[in-house]
């Protein structure tokens, strides 16, 4: 069975990571959650979630898209699909 997936999108600075942080902290006790974040050249969003202890470190996976993250979702989702597959294999709960 594959995991239920939710995408959060919006312009830079709109609060996507802050929303994700709050959702993880509110839901982590009741649901097994893992997160894939997208950044162009860094893993800054993933590192923010680790520092804020939104989830256990190994449940947060940062993806560097090398370009516009929207392209990694719309045109070639393979990097995100690989990250999801990795987390689904690692966490069977």
pLDDT digits (tens, 9 = 90+) for 2-43: 678 898 988 889 999 999 999 999 999 999 999 999 988 889
What is the rounded average pLDDT of the residues 42-61? 96
Residue 12 within a domain? no
Domain count, the chain: 1
Strands of the chain, DSSP E: 35-39, 60-64
pLDDT at position 71, please?
A: 67
Nearest CA-CA partner of 49 in 41, 40, 59, 5: 59
Residue 80 within a domain? yes
Residue 5 within a domain? no
Beta-carbon contacts of 71 under 8 Å, excluding residues fewer than 6 positions away, are: 65
Residue 27 within a domain? no
Whether the pLDDT of residue 72 is over 70: the answer is: no
User: The domain containing residue 66 runs over which residues?
Assistant: 33-90
- The four Cα atoms 85, 90, 92, 93 give a dihedral, to 10 degrees, of -110
Predicted TM-score of the model (pTM) = 0.86
Residue 74 within a domain? yes
């Amino acid at each position: 069975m594959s995991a239920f997936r939710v995408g959060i999108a919006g312009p830079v600075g709109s609060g996507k990571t802050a929303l994700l942080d709050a959702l993880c902290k509110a839901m982590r006790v009741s649901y097994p959650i893992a997160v894939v974040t997208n950044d162009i050249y860094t893993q800054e969003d993933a590192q923010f979630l680790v520092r804020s202890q939104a989830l256990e470190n190994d449940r947060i996976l940062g993806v560097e898209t090398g370009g516009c993250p929207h392209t990694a979702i719309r045109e070639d989702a393979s990097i995100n699909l690989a990250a999801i597959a990795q987390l689904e294999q690692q966490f069977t709960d």
